[in-house]
Amino acid sequence: MIRKILKKCWYGAFLAAGLPLAAMSLFGRVKPIYTFFSQFCAMVPGGVGDYLRVGYYHLTLAQCSMSSRISFGSFFAHPEARVGARVYIGSYCILGKAVIGDGTQVASGAQILSGQHQHIRDSSGTFHEAGDFVSVTIGPDCWIGAAAIVMADVGARTTIGAASVVTRPIPPDSVAVGSPARVVRSNQAALSDNP
């Protein structure tokens, strides 16, 4: 009982610390200010930084569970992102319009982008920022390996190998590796064999 009370007080302290930053960005609605404080919070070291980031994102993202952990150097580029319960995000991750399911772990240096067509070219070949930003969903209980780049949905309980590049949806209960990532093992058959 006391432990639960202490935990709520701990979370409350970091929500209070993140509140002025979130308020200045109108709780994620003013994108330049949201981005500034996302990057500012990314640079706060140690466990204090991990909890400050979660507190700030709890107040600014579409959803972010206080039971999650976001490590040093990691930030969300879009406030439309959603982070489930017990999610771990390693250091130096860049996350776009991600929807990350409960219990998923994202290793250091991974990127979850907002789809594959974020920048488009006009007829003269010049880049324009008005691309197609879409939500990329990572199911619950997944493992995204170090330095992986994810541009398409990943099903529940799936492992994406380190440095893999996900360009097509990966089904649930799979292991996918490579560039582009290909399914090398499916755990679905093994799961259905167990009574």
CA dist 175 → 93, 138, 167, 168 (Å): 21, 14, 15, 14
Residues 6+ apart with CB under 8 A from 138: 98, 99, 100, 101, 104, 106, 112, 144, 150, 153, 154
Q: What is the distance between the alpha carbons of residues 170 and 187, in angstroms, rounded to a whole number?
A: 13
Task: Say which range, 1-10, 37-46, 75-84, 157-166, has the weakest mean pLDDT.
Answer: 1-10
Helix boundaries (H) for 43-119: 46-60
Closest-CA residue to 58 (of 30, 82, 90): 82
Residue 192 has pLDDT above 60, yes or no: no
Q: What is the mean pLDDT of residues 144-152?
A: 97
Confidence of residue 195 (pLDDT cuts 50, 70, 90): very low
Query: In CATH terms, is domain 2-184 a member of 2.160.10.10?
Result: yes
- Which of 5-19, 112-126, 159-173 reaches the highest mean pLDDT? 159-173
Q: Is 131:118 a contact under the CB 8 Å cutoff?
A: yes
Can you read off the two tokens belonging to residue 105?
Answer: 């772990």
Q: Where are the beta strands (DSSP E) in the chain?
A: 63-64, 69-70, 75-76, 82-83, 88-89, 94-95, 98-100, 105-106, 111-112, 120-121, 127-128, 136-138, 143-144, 149-150, 159-160, 165-166, 174-177, 182-186
Prediction pTM value: 0.87
Q: What is the mean pLDDT of residues 154-178?
A: 97
Q: What is the mean pLDDT of residues 79-107?
A: 97
Average per-residue pLDDT in the chain?
91
pLDDT at 190: 47
Residue 28 has pLDDT above 90, yes or no: yes
Percent of the residues in the chain that have a pLDDT greater than 70, as a whole number: 89
pLDDT at 4: 84
Beta bridge partners of 166: 150
Helix boundaries (H) for the chain: 2-24, 31-42, 46-60, 188-193
Closest-CA residue to 96 (of 80, 85, 109): 80
